Amino acid sequence: MRPREFDHDEVLRIAFDQFWRNGVRGTSLSDIARDAGVQRGSLYNAFGSKEALFLQAYERYAGDYLLALQRALGTGSLRKRLTAFFDLTITNFRAGTPPRGCPTTRGLMELGAAEGEGLDEEARQAFAGLISRITALVQDNLAAGAARGEFDGNAAAAALHIITVTRGLAVLERAFGDEPQLRKIAAHTIDLVLGRKGGSA
Amino acid sequence: MRPREFDHDEVLRIAFDQFWRNGVRGTSLSDIARDAGVQRGSLYNAFGSKEALFLQAYERYAGDYLLALQRALGTGSLRKRLTAFFDLTITNFRAGTPPRGCPTTRGLMELGAAEGEGLDEEARQAFAGLISRITALVQDNLAAGAARGEFDGNAAAAALHIITVTRGLAVLERAFGDEPQLRKIAAHTIDLVLGRKGGSA
DNA sequence: GCATGTTCTTGACACGATGTCAAATACCTT
DNA sequence: AAGGTATTTGACATCGTGTCAAGAACATGC
């Protein structure tokens, strides 16, 4: 066995950064190869194809992101936790720097739309999987926090509504880039779920 | 002047259908040219570039779509109007047939993410423009209908919330394709805005 | 009716990107 | 030290975008 001459994980990070910045379409394997100091052929050997590379890079990000969300939802009052949660879905890690759009949402919408076409379907499941896990996370928090508000008692419906709003925010960010506006919508949604003064649990 | 040998508008329709089915990335000008019975070069001559063609095809669709929404919001009680509105954003014209994702949302998320890069920026404005117009439409309806519910009095905030949810639904459709679930979320959102029994206006 | 000009069409071309392959290479194992 | 195995490397095929010049078709003016 000849050992690899590059760091598998570092290439994934570099690749994901490129994909995130310029889109899957706008990123060529030559770009990534140059940035990573690796031959293009080696990327094909190690990852299979451009889409496969993107998927692996995405899964790496998804793991980190889910972890960050879990931590955001880990402490403080329910209202504080949800606020931190929305914050993270709005900033997507990179507070301050110009917005790049939610990778999950972008990935989902970039799919070919063809009827169950091989790798596209695999990608869809990856994106949908993260969303499912996040939904479950929020639902658990709401149930444990005994949220009142408009969805009184129905943590599942409340969580689904919250997730729907976060996905919508990801889209509106791309359309208008107006972060303060997004935060307003988020705050209002929290009010709906918790009741205007609830969430001390 | 030599006259064109093809129907400008029909080509736009064919192109949009292709783009919608297979994504911008998954559609080549050769595909469109074949389907439309036109030489590829003629497309470049008439529309400029692939992205320009997509944009023109999209604007054509956007006009039709906005009109349909206006009609949906034109009759019946406020609750009926909003129900019809959500229905149209969920089905996107093609009731029955397998979902293809909201063209506006897909287009928005497919953008390059680069900092204001020429045509991408123009595209963003096209997508954002439709969303703005739809938001205004909903807001007018809510204001005229004197919606109560959670957003009592604040038609702007209510409209923004509704739009956010519709964008979120477009994303969830791609993730799960579960139309009944989407309708539930929509119904719940209407309840939030109108109050559980309001909307007879 | 015919020449002229303007636009559309057509085919060839350049370029870049994806993906494949075989030969060369470097290391691990025995 | 030798052999095997996986990686690297460069060449190649293919496809898609976009450009260009030459040819073709029609409207207009004489």
Is the pLDDT reported for residue B115 higher than 60? no
Q: What's the confidence (pLDDT) of residue B145?
A: 77
Is the pLDDT reported for residue A198 higher than 60? no
Q: What's the confidence (pLDDT) of residue A118?
A: 59
Domain ranges for chain A, please list them.
1-48, 57-194
Output the average pLDDT for chain A.
91
Is the pLDDT reported for residue A91 higher than 70? yes
User: For A110, which of B110, B166, B184 is closest by C-beta distance?
Assistant: B110
- DSSP annotation of B151 reads G
Q: What's the confidence (pLDDT) of residue A150?
A: 80
Which bases of chain D are contacted by protein, using any atom under 7 A from a CB?
A: 4-11, 15-21, 24-27
Q: What's the confidence (pLDDT) of residue B53?
A: 98
Work out the average pLDDT over B132-161.
Answer: 90
Q: What's the confidence (pLDDT) of residue B147?
A: 65
Distance CA(A166)–CA(A164), nearest Å, equals: 5
Q: What's the confidence (pLDDT) of residue A121?
A: 87
Q: Which of A68-72, A147-151, B112-116 is the most confident on average?
A: A68-72
Contact B2, B44 (CB under 8 A): no
Lowest mean pLDDT among A20-29, A90-99, B11-20, B60-69: A90-99
Work out the average pLDDT over A143-149.
Answer: 77
Question: Would you place residue B2 in the very low, low, confident or very high pLDDT band (cuts 50, 70, 90)?
Answer: confident
Is the pLDDT reported for residue A17 higher than 70? yes
Is the pLDDT reported for residue A113 higher than 80? no
A115 chain-B contacts, CB cut-off 8 A: 98
CATH number assigned to the domain covering A1-48: 1.10.10.60
Q: What's the confidence (pLDDT) of residue B94?
A: 72
B116 chain-A contacts, CB cut-off 8 A: none
Is the pLDDT reported for residue B118 higher than 90? no
What token pair was written down for B3? 């006259």
A105: nearest CA in chain B? B171
Query: What is the helix (H) or strand (E) element at residue A158, kind and residue range?
Result: helix A155-176
Tell me the per-residue pLDDT of B57-98, one tens digit each, with 9 for 90 and over. 999 999 999 999 999 998 899 999 999 999 999 997 776 678
CATH number assigned to the domain covering B63-194: 1.10.357.10
Question: Would you place residue B196 in the very low, low, confident or very high pLDDT band (cuts 50, 70, 90)?
Answer: confident
Contact B25, A110 (CB under 8 A): yes
Lowest mean pLDDT among A52-66, A83-97, B49-63, B169-183: A83-97
B164: nearest CA in chain A? A168
Q: What's the confidence (pLDDT) of residue A94?
A: 72
**CB A23 to CB B113 under 8 A?**
yes
**ipTM rounded to 2 decimals:** 0.91
The reply to whether the CB atom of residue A51 sits less than 7 A from any atom in nucleic acid chain C is yes
The long-range contacts involving B35-39, CB below 8 angstroms and separated by at least 24 positions, are: B36/B6, B36/B10, B36/B11, B37/B6, B38/B5, B38/B6, B38/B11
Q: Which of residues 35-54 of A touch strand D (CB under 7 A)?
A: 38-42, 45-46
Question: Would you place residue B142 in the very low, low, confident or very high pLDDT band (cuts 50, 70, 90)?
Answer: very high
Distance CA(B63)–CA(A165), nearest Å, equals: 26
Which CATH topology does A57-194 take? Tetracycline Repressor; domain 2 (1.10.357)
